[in-house]
Amino acid sequence: MTDLPPTTEMERAYLERDAAYDGLFFLGVRSTSIFCRPTCPARKPLPRNVEYFPTARAALFAGYRPCKRCRPLAEDDSPEWSSRLLAEVEQDPGSRITDADLKARGIDPATVRRFFLRRYGMTFQAFTRARRLSGALTRIREGAALDHVVFESGYDSHSGFRDAFTRTFGETPGSRPNGECVFLSWFQSPLGPLVAGATSEGVCLLEFSDRRMLETQFATVRKLFSGPVLPGSNDHLNLLQSELSGYFSGTLKRFTVPLHYPGTPFQRRVWEQLLAIPYGETRSYEQLATALGDAKAVRAVGRANGLNRIAIVIPCHRVINKNGELGGYGGGLRRKQYLLDLERSGCVEQAAPMGKSDGPLLDGLREIEVAHPSLRH
């Protein structure tokens, strides 16, 4: 995502420490090689010494180190207005918040659009429309009368609702009461935002939201389940969020949330071997291949490991090279090291709970990653 506000707008925002722009851009200071949030309390650099980035990840890859005052790598970088908007949408998915409504609240619609595109991969209006329709599908499955669902979803007519529903799901409301749909939710974690997806059978996706392969994973999920991918929630996602909180706080060592992970027979065998690796232990790619009955299938095991769509819960981070080096990891090696350290310690010192600061350990790992580009994955 490279869509940044105009340079003059960003310059004004950081000079005035405008909190509405937190999370929308980051500024790198060339003279110090440090990058900050727009609201950083440190002395403001001269505009000619500033370089702008759409994400903290982009600033890291450009060689900048995170500021220790404003902590731009802490996971909760959402502007306050975005939290209010999301809470309002969740409380009443059928409500419609127009650009005029945003302006009346003192929020620039273009700023909202950029933030939602970067964080959720869709505009705010697309997000709220998808949220209305995912809620409508849930109500239809629960047996609610169609008349009630139409107006609860904020539509003025049956025809308007039917057209929107059909465009999204490919079928009319009456013909899809049990059709599959993947609901998406976004969670905060000590390692950054996570995006999770679940069908009616179980969790089918858990990825770091800044992973480069995320769009490919979404496309794969759509194809596998032959249905739309929409913002929403269900019991599996609620349980997953609770269990992730326990995992990161060091109190949960075994996930119980149902999983839904279709794949080739070989891929499923690899993923089941991953699930069998005990908490706090690791296996090499060679050991996995041997356990599968083919010691020569190391590369195939590595490919299947990399195609795992449910990070952390299906613990592909527990697979390392036979020489003890970390090997690869789709979420980045700093995260892999963090997860292994958390599990080896079995206590809370190495990890903050969900929604809290990620602490000095992760800052150190991030600085190591910047200093050693070979650790990037």
* Residue pair 44/15 in contact by the 8 Å Cβ criterion: yes
d(Cα 312, Cα 317) in Å, to the nearest integer?
7
φ, ψ for residue 323 (rounded to 5)? -85, 5
Q: Quick one: which of 54, 64, 60 has its CA closest to 33?
A: 64
HSE of 322, CA atoms in CB hemisphere, 13 A? 8
Active-site entry in 40, 67, 204, 316:
316
204 carries an active-site annotation: no
Catalytic residue among 36, 40, 181, 204: 36
Answer whether 199's CB lies under 8 Å from 241's CB: no
The answer for residues whose C-beta is within 8 angstroms of residue 214's C-beta and 6 or more apart is 195, 207, 208
Active site residue 70: no
Three-state SS sequence of the chain:
CCCCCCHHHHHHHHHCCCHHHECCEEEEECCCCEEECCCCCCCCCCHHHEEEECCHHHHHHCCCEECCCCCCCCCCCCCHHHHHHHHHHHHCCCCCCCHHHHHHCCCCHHHHHHHHHHHHCCCHHHHHHHHHHHHHHHHHHCCCCHHHHHHHCCCCCHHHHHHHHHHHHCCCHHHCCCCCCEEEEEECCCCCCEEEEECCCCEEEEEECCCCCHHHHHHHHHHHHCCCEEECCCHHHHHHHHHHHHHHHCCCCCCCCCECCCCCHHHHHHHHHHHCCCCCCCEEHHHHHHHCCCCCCHHHHHHHHHCCCECCCCCHHHEECCCCCCCCCCCCHHHHHHHHHHHHHCCHHHCCCCCCCCHHHHHHHHHHHHHCHHHCC
Q: Tell me which residues are annotated as active site.
A: 36, 316
